[in-house]
Amino acid sequence: MNIKRVCVLYFSPTGGTEKIAHLVAENLSEKLNIECTFFDITQPKNRYNEYHFSEDDLVVMASPVYAGRLPNKLVPEYKAKIWGEGTPAVPICVFGNRSPDESLRELMILMEDNGFSIVGAAAFAGRHAFSDQIGAKRPDENDLDEIAAFTSKVVQKLTDNRKMFLKIDHSELGAYYTPLKEDGTPAKFLKARPYTDADRCIHCGLCVEKCPLESIDINTMETVGLCIKCQACVRCCPTHAKYFDDTDFLSHVAMLEKNYKRRAKNIMII
Ligand SMILES: Cc1cc2nc3c(=O)[nH]c(=O)nc-3n(C[C@H](O)[C@H](O)[C@H](O)COP(=O)(O)O)c2cc1C
Ligand code: SF4
Ligand code: SF4
């Protein structure tokens, strides 16, 4: 293998996936002593064009986990826009301390179908977009050590040049995770969207700029299009004007805060 650059692509509405994607890619580029190129596909304008990679690239692709799978509204774009040509790749999923469930296998299959050869894959825990109490302070020192060990093994495989690629299980993927309320019954918040406190909003337009689906009206600051509950608008608002008041959504967040404070383990396949 003659890898000439490390390329990292990520979709990251609230920055957790971006942070881990950078750590993995920078570790790899340092160890391989080659340049690292970043492609942030969070904003729609960066998802208009296709991305094509060659066999001289090493591609790290990172996605957040939504309902135990890849974000379903993004999957068609991942499938249509990101192409390899026997390109070695490292799929990374970032989950909010509950579980990555089937997301990592979904990303491995998607990338293999699109012309990539999977060297190693990992799901790392990060802060949950819904609450600062879940996955707080991840990635921590332990995670940094695990990322360093994982990337060393990837580099070792690339330099050894043997038994390089993983054999991916292509069997049918499990269902999306059903979010639960505090009482253990399903939380139904598909139609929930954030509202704007008019007394707090200073019309800075940041939420409009950050929404990965361009769903926020620039005049009213209200969500008028599809909402994937990513929390980008809530977290970027400088005056905390954005809020969700959907009772099922809030009950799900309370359930997560009650049951998922323990430190979830990372998953590394190499
Ligand atoms: C709609 C939605 C669904 C999520 N579902 C899960 C899940 O099933 N398991 C989990 O551990 N974390 C889940 N999370 C948490 C995210 O995977 C985690 O916060 C991730 O770091 C968000 O990425 P970002 O910071 O790059 O936006 C979910 C977050 C959102 C917004
Ligand atoms: S409106 Fe919905 S999709 Fe857009 S940033 Fe806010 S939470 Fe995300
Ligand atoms: S980010 Fe907050 S303050 Fe700025 S326009 Fe949006 S809601 Fe208003």
Which residues are near ligand 1 (CB < 6 Å)?
12-18, 64-68, 94-99, 126-129, 177, 229-231
Please indicate whether residue 231, judged by its CB atom, sits closer than 6 Å to ligand 2: yes
The verdict on pTM exceeding 0.75 is yes
Instruction: Judge if the beta carbon of residue 239 lies within 6 A of ligand 3.
Output: yes
pLDDT given for residue 204 in this prediction:
97
**pLDDT tens, residue order, the chain (270 aa):** 789 999 999 999 999 999 999 999 999 999 999 999 999 999 999 999 999 999 999 999 999 999 999 999 999 999 999 999 999 999 999 999 999 999 999 999 999 999 999 999 999 999 999 999 999 999 999 999 999 999 999 999 998 877 689 999 999 999 999 999 999 999 999 999 999 999 999 999 999 999 999 999 999 999 999 999 999 999 999 999 999 999 999 999 999 999 999 999 999 999
205 CA distance to ligand 2 middle (Å) = 13
227 Cβ closer than 6 Å to some ligand 2 atom: yes
> Each residue of 7-51: pLDDT tens digit?
999 999 999 999 999 999 999 999 999 999 999 999 999 999 999
- Ligand 1 atom 5: residue of nearest CA: 66
DSSP string, the chain: ----EEEEEE--TTSHHHHHHHHHHHHHHHHHT-EEEEEE--SGGGGSS-EE--TTEEEEEEEE-BTTBS-TTTHHHHHHHEE-SSEEEEEEEEE-SS--TTHHHHHHHHHHHTTEEES-EEEEE---TT-TTSSTT-S-HHHHHHHHHHHHHHHHHHHH-SS-SPPP--SPPPPPP--B-TTSSBP--TT---EE-TTT-----HHHHH-TT--B-TTT--B-S------HHHHH-TT--EE---HHHHHHHHHHHHH--S-PPPEEE-
